[in-house]
Structure 1
């Protein structure tokens, strides 16, 4: 529409100013305007042809204008039309490629980060994954919830790294966890196997912070193993507390550097309690004053009845606190034992 208006204004200005002055060079902007907001090269091509035709007509009308000026105007319109059509075609091809990549990424996410059942016996579970990049669908944050012969086992981790290397590491970690969680009765042994598997990966510099939780089917305490990850938060009787490990432990793949092993903490997880596992994309979100998001304080102000509603409200609160998009991927996993 803007191109037609410009053609009309240029022609009108030519007639108003008389044969001695021409506005034909302005018509070079017509194909540019026609190419704005479209992914079809035919639109700027037709607009350029129309502009060229009007330049030819104005050449006959503006007989007193030097021929070199009119020829230059016509050549400019043709050149601009060519480059505008090429740009539109390139942008359209890139968008098609982006759609294809996003489709592949979504398939990879579904394969790695499976859908989590909302209920597992007396447990109600909710998961949220938020990618920092608007076009991203998967990153280095990972989670898993699965039923095993030893009860329900949960895993939340964060790969130190970006790109395809982080995705490959996440796939390896989840594969080992899914196998070890069903085979090992001791959750610390599951963590040890994860560390050993990552340490054996050739030419890999990625490590993974992680927290593992085991909740038995029979009444009894839960077990938490923390591998250099932000501590889970326990909501009990309206109060929020951090579930810190008995001793600090390194991330997965780095245990061999310090020696020793991972240690478990027993956790009273009673009816009505809610446990929140998360990655540093939430805990280290910053506002305009460069202050971290006070996760434990904000969580204490939210209702702890339904995990699904809690995570939705929590993410809304984080975005409001930051004032813009998250700068790091974020994974949240909330689990509540029903009353």
Structure 2
């Protein structure tokens, strides 16, 4: 179960690290061993059989196997070497009829032709798959962007494992959005699975990124998320894009104030699992939140959930998670007791460890508990409040991009000047993880 040192445990495979169509499946050593094994086997069988029965024509099977693994050029080259091997064997131990028998070269040539065709077809399919993968990864990264390890006085670590094998995104969604009004964060879980859930989470993320930046009151951000969920459902009904009932999403919406001396966080709970709070001395507790209905259930006429102000002092840690964590089952079908297990995992020492270390402990324990492949998307974010904030979005690498007045506070610069806005809003969300 590999883990990475970045805030996001999942990182898309770089293009340079992918399997290349010019490199054989399993690598050149594997192809060499297979070819050597087959050639030695055929030659040994040929030498062991009577003179009136020669097995050397079976060398024609080798290019077919090589074509399934190696590129076209390698397949053709090995075919030529096999022909030379056959001629050498015939010269050493001629057939009873004398000369070079036609059957052997014919079988090797036919096998080589089939191997080249197989190899070419395999390379074409590999190239098409790589193009589709590139498009899918670009789309997925647009939905769930990369999280920074730190935003102002908040440290972040995240984990994401979609239920669908090889997927990057699913029905779980989360994001962090800096704004002139403070840092906003969200974590949610859309009902259902598959492309419909991805589409709904994408709509909610887009709404959050805009509302969290522009709207000052947190209840207004919550209202915009509810409207986005209703608009998505109305669109799918109108276009008949989904054959299931209206989607809904549980979520936690958080607001960290701009004042570094403010030791609290405001949370709006849309029927989601409440977070865990870890104090610097290692105590783990569950806060009492005012929970409301999930997003998308506003037409029921129930008032929107009220924000709960939760004390969050420097050194305190929030752990947010989706039901893919709590509903993870072991071999006996027992759900993962995240609150009880977290209390055992966290000590006075580990409570002060970086958020990534806490996340690693929880993710490894979750992986050990799970039996079989994941049945649902699972997402976890660990948020640590620190004492000293960093300058908002003004780093050494980007200082040259900003030419505005130096005496303006960083938050005001971000809010009013479009030049820093272009780079300040880069890559502030998440890519996700595998266990």
1:287 partnered with 2:330: yes
**Structure 2 counterparts to residues 27-106 of structure 1, below 5 A:** 27-35=59-67, 37-38=69-70, 40-51=71-82, 61-63=95-97, 71=103, 77-106=108-137
Alpha-carbon deviations, 1:72-100, whole Å to 9, x = none? Answer: x7666555444433333333333333433
1:145 partnered with 2:176: yes
Alignment counterpart, residue 242 of structure 1, candidates 286, 289, 303: 286
| Counterpart residue number, 2:211 | 180
Q: How far apart, in 1, do the equivalents of 2:229 and 2:351 lie?
A: 36
Greater fraction of residues in strand: 1
What displacement does 1:154 show? 0.9
Using structure 2 for the length normalisation, give the TM-score.
0.65
Q: How far apart, in 1, do the equivalents of 2:288 and 2:124 lie?
A: 50
1:155 partnered with 2:177: no
**Contact 2:290 2:305 (C-alpha < 8 Å) held by counterparts:** no
Q: How far apart, in 1, do the equivalents of 2:125 and 2:334 lie?
A: 38
What displacement does 1:326 show? 4.2
**Helix, strand or coil for the counterpart of 2:178?**
strand
**Contact 1:232 1:244 (C-alpha < 8 Å) held by counterparts:** no
RMSD over aligned CA atoms reads: 3.4
Alignment counterpart, residue 199 of structure 2, candidates 168, 173, 189: 168
Q: How far apart, in 2, do the equivalents of 1:234 and 1:225 lie?
A: 16
Alignment counterpart, residue 21 of structure 1, candidates 53, 61, 65: 53
Using structure 1 for the length normalisation, give the TM-score.
0.80
| Counterpart residue number, 1:224 | 267
What displacement does 1:25 show? 5.4
| Counterpart residue number, 1:309 | 357
- The structure-2 alpha-carbon separation of the partners of 1:106 and 1:25, relative to structure 1 and needing over 3 Å to count, comes to same
What displacement does 1:307 show? 1.4
Q: Which runs of 5+ in 1 are unaligned?
A: none
**Contact 2:63 2:75 (C-alpha < 8 Å) held by counterparts:** yes
- The structure-2 alpha-carbon separation of the partners of 1:245 and 1:134, relative to structure 1 and needing over 3 Å to count, comes to same
What displacement does 1:283 show? 2.7
Alpha-carbon deviations, 1:92-145, whole Å to 9, x = none? Answer: 333333433443344334433344344444333333334455633333332112
Structure number with the bigger relative contact order (C-alpha 8 A, sep ≥ 6) is 2
| Counterpart residue number, 2:407 | none
**Helix, strand or coil for the counterpart of 1:29?**
helix
**Structure 2 counterparts to residues 256-275 of structure 1, below 5 A:** 256-257=299-300, 259-275=302-318
**Contact 1:148 1:181 (C-alpha < 8 Å) held by counterparts:** yes
Alignment counterpart, residue 255 of structure 2, candidates 195, 204, 214: 214
Q: How far apart, in 1, do the equivalents of 2:94 and 2:326 lie?
A: 71
| Counterpart residue number, 1:3 | 35
**Helix, strand or coil for the counterpart of 2:329?**
coil
Alpha-carbon deviations, 1:245-288, whole Å to 9, x = none? Answer: 434523x2233246443333332223332111122333333333
Q: How far apart, in 2, do the equivalents of 1:292 and 1:111 lie?
A: 33
Q: Which runs of 5+ in 2 are unaligned?
A: 1-31, 237-241, 388-435
Q: How far apart, in 2, do the equivalents of 1:114 and 1:48 lie?
A: 48
Q: How far apart, in 2, do the equivalents of 1:158 and 1:118 lie?
A: 23
1:338 partnered with 2:386: yes
- The structure-2 alpha-carbon separation of the partners of 1:274 and 1:99, relative to structure 1 and needing over 3 Å to count, comes to same
Q: How far apart, in 2, do the equivalents of 1:50 and 1:122 lie?
A: 66
**Contact 1:145 1:152 (C-alpha < 8 Å) held by counterparts:** yes
